[in-house]
């Protein structure tokens, strides 16, 4: 009888521990890699570098500096669309994602534009000023597209809202995906009236 009780106790304990690990995102799927439709930047913009930046942006918790110069004698511009991924050059650093359309400008002198992004690989290093990125594809991940469609026109400038959205991105890229409760929370964000 003691042996049967002990076996049941161990089995229940093991099952409880397994459920706890699954609920806490400890067991992760394969690492997220950017895939999707190729993005083509205005050919008259020469990108010098896209690097991490210590300044803050209301468009996302991770700010990058987009440095570019015009290939013409005038000012050139383009729009980096929501859903665009920035691909890391250092394999230890996180990929980044735009959730809002963001304009970039290039003049005859090197122009720096600050852009807000969201991190995709939470088990990798958070980018800093020494990290460099390349323009990647516009995501084809259905759940990331869902986040983009919800958040694109929402006000995420408050810290708690921005980090809730960051968590949603990482639920998709580093965990088991969005829950209905999280989708409802994203939908409940206030509209963006800053334009």
> So where are the chain's domains?
33-186
Mean pLDDT of the chain: 88
DSSP state of 76: E
What does the alpha-carbon distance between residue 68 and residue 64 come to, in Å, rounded to a whole number? 13
3, pLDDT greater than 70:
no
5, pLDDT greater than 60:
no
Contact 129, 51 (CB under 8 A): yes
pLDDT of residue 17: 42
pLDDT of residue 46: 98
CB atoms within 10 A of CB 172: 22
What does the alpha-carbon distance between residue 177 and residue 147 come to, in Å, rounded to a whole number? 11
169, pLDDT greater than 70:
yes
């Amino acid at each position: 009888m003691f042996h049967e009780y002990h076996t049941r106790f161990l089995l229940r304990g093991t099952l409880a521990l397994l459920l706890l690990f699954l609920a806490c995102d400890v067991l992760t799927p394969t690492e997220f890699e950017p895939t999707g439709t190729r993005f083509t930047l205005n050919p008259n913009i020469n990108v010098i570098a896209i690097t991490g930046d210590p300044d803050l942006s209301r468009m996302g918790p991770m700010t990058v500096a987009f440095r570019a110069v015009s290939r013409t004698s005038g000012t050139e511009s383009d729009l980096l669309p929501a859903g665009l991924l920035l691909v890391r050059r250092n394999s230890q650093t996180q990929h980044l994602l735009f959730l809002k359309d963001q304009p970039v400008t290039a003049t005859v002198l090197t122009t720096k534009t600050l852009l807000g992004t969201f991190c995709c690989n939470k088990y990798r290093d958070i980018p800093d000023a020494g990290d460099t990125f390349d323009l990647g594809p516009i995501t084809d991940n259905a759940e990331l597209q869902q986040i983009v469609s919800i958040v694109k026109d929402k006000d995420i400038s408050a810290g708690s809202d921005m980090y809730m959205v960051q968590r949603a991105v990482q639920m998709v890229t580093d965990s088991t995906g969005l829950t209905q409760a999280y989708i409802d929370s994203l939908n409940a964000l206030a509209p963006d009236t800053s334009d």
